[in-house]
A and B are shown apart, each in its own frame.
Chain A
Amino acid sequence: MIAPVLSVRNLVTEFDTRAGTVTAVDGVSLDVGPGEVLGIVGESGSGKTITGFSILGLIDKPGRIAGGEVLLNGQDLRTLPEAAMQKLRGDRIAMIFQDPMMTLNPVLRIDTQMVETIRAHRDVSPARARDMAAEALGLVGIPSPVERLRTYPHEMSGGMRQRVVIAIALMLEPDLIIADEPTTALDVTIQSQILSEMQRLLAARKTALIWITHDLTVVAGLAHRVAVMYAGRIVETGPVDDLLDRPAHPYTQGLISSIPSSVPRGERLVPIKGMTPSLISLPRGCAFAPRCPRASETCHNARPEAEDISEARSLRCFHPLEMAQ
């Protein structure tokens, strides 16, 4: 097997709140290889965004990374001093945020924000940096990139802004891109355009991509592998087609049944009962047990550990669904 670009082992991120310590990310392990797309799927509050920020070392107080390893090309980022992390952010690991309306600074021109990023990491002249920026904008399909450089974010549509953010992420050819719901705030047509652009650009560069989303349909079309997160833990991982066709975790099954196109027309959708649990008062056993149709006494009292159920898949569940062949 090719060495993974990013390997996260037992990552734990905690937040100190008035009500006590909240474990937002609880023992997350994942690997992404070069050119591979890993989809992290989960509901709001499942810890998927915090996982992304933890990898970048951008957890602000009252949060802290309490344990685990984050290995980028074999080097543990958690042991690096802040100055080295700063060099790495935007250069080796780039991040794309959810809301393109809020991501770019409204009072700075596009060129200012692109050039400052390049010059933070590369020793190039401002003129050369501008050329690089224009080239990156052209690459993501922005027409007349040189003129676009002079504009402010508010003069662009949401889709255009997200393209700018993607251009900034790709510009310095990072090893890994973490994309946090980058298409959620966009129209469906723009969303699919951007998805196909991303696929094309990443495949050419062998960049690893972590795509954080709540939308299984996006993952199905884009990712190679999927990790399903629930209440700070990865409950199931596997190759995308296999996992979506034959989910083993009841939560994964629930997510799939909630998609309108997953059931024949006219039949009722099957929503997952109940609400995502508050991280402050997680159940003692499996976090999903209170909502789970298959839960037993064991599930309420003990937490299932991650087990490999096949070569490529792992699972945290005492009562997995039958995986029909």
Chain B
Amino acid sequence: MIAYLIRRFGQALLVMAVMATIVFFGLYAVGNPVDLLINPEADLAEQEETIRRLGLDKPIHIQFGYFLAGLTQGDLGTSFVHNRPALELILSRLPATLELAFMGILIAVILGIPLGMIAGLKPDAPYSRFIMAGSVVGFSTPNFWQGLMLIMLFAVFLGWLPAGGRGETVDVLGIPVSFLTWDGLSHLILPAVNVAIYKMSLVIRLTRAGTAEIVHQDYVKYARARGLSPRRVVGVHVLKNILIPVVTVLGLETGNVIAFAVVTETVFAWPGIGKLLIDSIGLLDRPVVVAYLMLTVFLFVMINLVVDIAYSALDPRVRVKRGKA
């Protein structure tokens, strides 16, 4: 198990290194940040001073060498725009995104799994058709438009919830969270729902497909033949078997929301990392973009690891293979 974890970390480091190299040179090819950053009215001496301060006067391979040297000390570079360490900048925005992502996933799971199971158990019932039709709509509605409609309905017409921003936060272990205050929670609901609708549709479809397949398995009929209650048959024998595909997809989706919650964060003015990334790309703020993507890769690898571990908790047959993998 420990050898397995070390190997997984090794893979993560390799992917991060390759990705950082590509992005570093890629952004260099896109354009020169100096053109965007420096006040055109500044005099030549001032301009040259800034370029030197940012390290942009050196050839690109030397810049890359500095970057690597910094990495060995855990320094991912300093933002050209904000003049703060890139990692610090990202980490300061990360809690907001994590909170949004987990809230969205939570809503998707709590509603999606039961709805999917209902639709899978009674595929021909009118309410099942309604659930599936709803999931198609949730699946295919563009995220930004859906966000705007949520704001229109709940913030503008009904006035129940605020239209944007993060609201009041409370520090828990030094991390600001908003779900513990009423104001924060009311700000969180709409963006979280906006994130949740697509995931929920996905969970519903996965759960329904899994349920419809598993209810016909011999072991489900056998569980009934042993006189178990329908609640136990569905809630234990069926549920535990459908969780495997659901956990896989949700794991990947969690990574997705964290890394690319850009649309929701923009529509709801949610101060997360997605918005930071878009702004940084626009300004060619290379250290932030590189650091952000490295962090994203790291997150994905970690999430995949958690998913793998969750598998072995759910499916005992995976555990045997673990030793050989």
Contact = CB atoms under 8 A, between A and B. Distances in A.
B317 interface: yes
B310 to A, nearest CB: 13
Interface string B70-111: 000000000000000000000000000000000000000000
B222 A97 contact: yes
Interface in B201-243: 217-219, 221-229, 232, 236-237, 240-241
A88 B224 CA distance: 11
B62 to A, nearest CB: 56
The B contact surface, by secondary structure, is helix
Given A58-B221, A97-B218, A99-B218, A106 B317 contact: yes
B225 A89 contact: yes
A324 interface: no
Contact of A106 (B224, B225, B236, B316): B316
Most chain A CB atoms below 10 A, which of B219, B229, B232: B219
A90 B221 CA distance: 12
A117 interface: yes
Given A105-B237, A108-B237, A90 B225 contact: yes
Interface residues of B, number: 22
Contacts of B219: 102-106
Nearest to B316: A152
B224 to A, nearest CB: 6
A87 B218 contact: no
A205 to B, nearest CB: 18
Contacts of B314: 107
Given A103-B218, A105-B219, A108-B236, A117 B226 contact: yes
A168 B226 CA distance: 9
A152 B219 CA distance: 14
Contacts of B237: 105, 108
A103 B222 contact: yes
B315 interface: yes
A291 interface: no
A97 B223 CA distance: 11
Contacts of B229: 86, 120
A294 interface: no
Contacts of B320: 154-155
A223 interface: no
A263 B308 CA distance: 58
Interface in B296-325: 314-317, 320
Nearest to B239: A107
A117 B227 contact: yes
Nearest to B240: A107
A168 B227 CA distance: 12
A88 B227 CA distance: 7
Most chain A CB atoms below 10 A, which of B224, B226, B236: B226
Interface string B287-300: 00000000000000
Given A102-B217, A104-B219, A90 B241 contact: no
B227 A105 contact: no
Given A103-B222, A107-B316, A116-B232, A90 B217 contact: no
Contact of A104 (B222, B224, B241): B222
A91 B227 contact: yes
Contacts of A165: 222
Nearest to B214: A105
B218 A90 contact: no
Contacts of B316: 106-107, 109, 152, 154-155
B315 A95 contact: no
Interface string A70-101: 00000000000000001111110011011100
A102 B217 CA distance: 7
Interface string B144-170: 000000000000000000000000000
Contacts of A152: 316-317
Nearest to B222: A103
Most chain B CB atoms below 10 A, which of A89, A90, A107: A107
Contact of B225 (A58, A87, A109, A116): A58
Contact of B228 (A56, A94, A102, A116): A116
Given A105-B240, A121-B227, 10 more contacts: A58-B221, A89-B227, A104-B219, A107-B241, A108-B237, A116-B228, A116-B232, A116-B236, A117-B226, A152-B316
23 contacts: A58-B224, A86-B227, A88-B227, A89-B227, A90-B227, A90-B228, A95-B222, A97-B218, A97-B221, A97-B222, A97-B225, A98-B218, A102-B217, A103-B222, A106-B241, A107-B240, A116-B226, A117-B228, A120-B226, A120-B227, A121-B227, A154-B320, A165-B222
Interface of A: 56, 58, 86-91, 94-95, 97-99, 102-109, 116-117, 120-121, 152, 154-155, 165, 168
